[in-house]
Copies of this chain bind each other. A is one copy, B any other.
């Protein structure tokens, strides 16, 4: 692992954490082609659970096999690989030590219709330890009427993970009765989502790249009066990063729905320009043919390295 001055600087932001957790943060930051730069590209594969296997893997059927994703993450030089329990169990022994793992501790399928969005808890901190993971992952839906249950479950898992020396990655996706469809990616909501995850104790925060939309009336006034810059994606990313403790928490961004290579790279360049710490890129990676996926991931990494 590359423990560079930048990694040490980032470590200084987490000074309340134990050596165990700092070690695992170092593993996330010190691994792969971006190792030591303070930037991250993570491969997440929870779409089989969230969208179903055919929608996720039929475009590139090699992806039905859990080992495929371990190997893809290793070969592309990602910082980490994140997946639900089943996918990690399938390869954790075979790939032990080859790449940091993140166990997604909650998941939703798209078969059930719930009153308010909330994922089921599908893993535990002890399972993450059993599988040799560096971190746990957890998704919250700020804006959901079931918010309290989610925050409280995350709180307990976070306390346990830190006590046991793991890092905590939080997917913060506003959704539910409290936000409109457009509001889910509004810039004020994205900043708020990052703040909530940071206050809940996350080490790494994942949000969606924000749009120019502003959702909350009370917030709109402030954006106007204070002249917060949100015109470009880079502006908005900078605002979201600032919203997570003035840039002193690792904030990464999702790649979103599958799209063309240039579309992906343009967005990544905006994220990098705004000071984003990296990307978590699933469908745009594993639904492409392997060689193409690695090429794209390398291009993404290069975009971040250029700003490191």
Residue of chain B at shortest CB distance from A147: B112
* Cβ A151 vs Cβ B177 within 8 A: no
Q: How far is the CB of A158 from chain B (nearest CB, A)?
A: 8
Closest B-chain residue to A119, C-beta based?
A: B148
A53 CA / B216 CA spacing, docked (Å): 13
Q: Among the listed stretches A35-43, A90-98, A264-272, which one makes contact with chain B, having 4 or more residues with CB under 8 Å of it?
A: A90-98
Q: Is A201 an interface residue (CB 8 A)?
A: yes
Q: Considering only CB atoms, which chain B residue lies closest to A116 in the complex?
A: B112
A189 to B53, CA, bound (A): 10
Given known pairs A109-B142, A112-B178, A122-B155, the reply for A16 and B55 (CB within 8 Å) is no
Contact between chains at A195 and B53 (CB < 8 Å):
yes
Query: Which residues of B sit under 8 angstroms from A20, Cβ to Cβ?
Result: none
Are A64 and B143 closer than 8 Å at their CB atoms?
A: no
* Contact flag A16-B120 (CB < 8 Å), given A112-B145, A219-B54: no
**CB-CB nearest in chain B for A12:** B94
Residue of B nearest to A142 (CB): B111
If A111-B178, A159-B126 touch, whether A85 touches B49 (CB-CB below 8 Å) is: no
Bound together, the chains give a CA A109 to CA B215 distance in angstroms of 14
Contacts A122-B151, A200-B85 given; indicate if A59 touches B226 (C-beta within 8 A): yes
A179 within 8 A of B: yes
Report chain B residues within 8 Å CB of A242. 53, 61, 64
Question: In this assembly, does A198 line the interface, its C-beta being within 8 Å of a C-beta of chain B?
Answer: yes
Interface residues of A in 127-164 (CB under 8 A from B): 127, 130-131, 142-145, 147-148, 151-152, 155, 159
Tell me, yes or no, whether A65 is within 8 Å of chain B by CB: yes
Given contacts A219-B54, A226-B59, contact A89 B196 (CB under 8 A): no
On whether A90 and B13 interact (CB within 8 A), knowing A65-B248, A112-B142, A155-B124, the answer reads yes
With contacts A191-B54, A199-B87 taken as known, whether A118 is within 8 angstroms of B65 at the C-beta atoms is no
Closest Cβ of chain B to A276, distance in Å, is 16
Closest B residue by C-beta to A46: B199
Q: Is A86 interfacial (CB-CB < 8 Å)?
A: yes
User: CA of A85 to CA of B168 in the docked complex: distance in angstroms?
Assistant: 14
Question: B177 to A84, Cβ gap below 8 A?
Answer: no
Residues of B within 8 A of A200 (CB): 84-86, 122
Subset of 30 A-B contacts with CB under 8 Å? A15-B94, A16-B88, A16-B90, A16-B92, A16-B131, A52-B219, A53-B191, A53-B192, A53-B195, A54-B223, A54-B226, A54-B228, A58-B226, A58-B228, A64-B243, A64-B246, A65-B248, A66-B245, A86-B198, A87-B245, A90-B248, A109-B142, A109-B192, A112-B176, A112-B178, A113-B177, A122-B152, A122-B200, A124-B159, A127-B159
> What are the nearest 3 A-B pairs in CB distance?
A86-B199, A65-B246, A120-B151
